[in-house]
């Protein structure tokens, strides 16, 4: 996953709800599963809002495809 694209998308989502990107911790772990003789990589992105320690986990096979759900979670106030 391209880290610069992922980080930019993440920061736009956070700015949308007027929070500070520095208050969030984002971790990206790659999981590989063997499927039909091949390997499929999935990114497991965990975002933690440091002031509340609330975190959400998103699964993604494509860069930035998890950001829509992250933005919805921000809009719904799930981090605070």
Digit-by-digit pLDDT tens for the chain (80 residues) are: 467 877 888 899 999 999 999 999 999 898 888 878 888 888 899 999 999 999 999 998 876 688 999 999 999 999 98
* pTM given for the model: 0.83
Sequence-distant (≥ 6) Cβ neighbours of residue 40 within 8 angstroms = 32, 33, 34, 61
Residue 3 three-state SS: helix
Q: Which CATH architecture has domain 3-75?
A: 2-Layer Sandwich (3.30)
Instruction: Encode burial over 55-71: b for 16+ CB neighbours within 10 A, e otherwise.
Output: bbebebeeebebbeebb
What's the confidence (pLDDT) of residue 25?
A: 95
* Predicted pLDDT of residue 1: 46
- Write down the domain spans for the chain: 3-75
CA distance 14 to 22: 10
């Amino acid at each position: 996953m391209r880290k610069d694209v992922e980080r930019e998308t993440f920061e736009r989502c956070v700015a949308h709800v007027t929070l500070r990107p520095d208050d969030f911790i984002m971790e990206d772990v790659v999981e590989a599963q063997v499927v039909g003789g091949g390997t499929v990589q999935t990114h497991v992105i965990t975002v933690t809002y440091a002031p509340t320690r609330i975190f959400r986990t998103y699964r993604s096979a494509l860069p930035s495809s998890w950001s829509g759900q992250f933005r919805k979670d921000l809009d719904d106030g799930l981090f605070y």
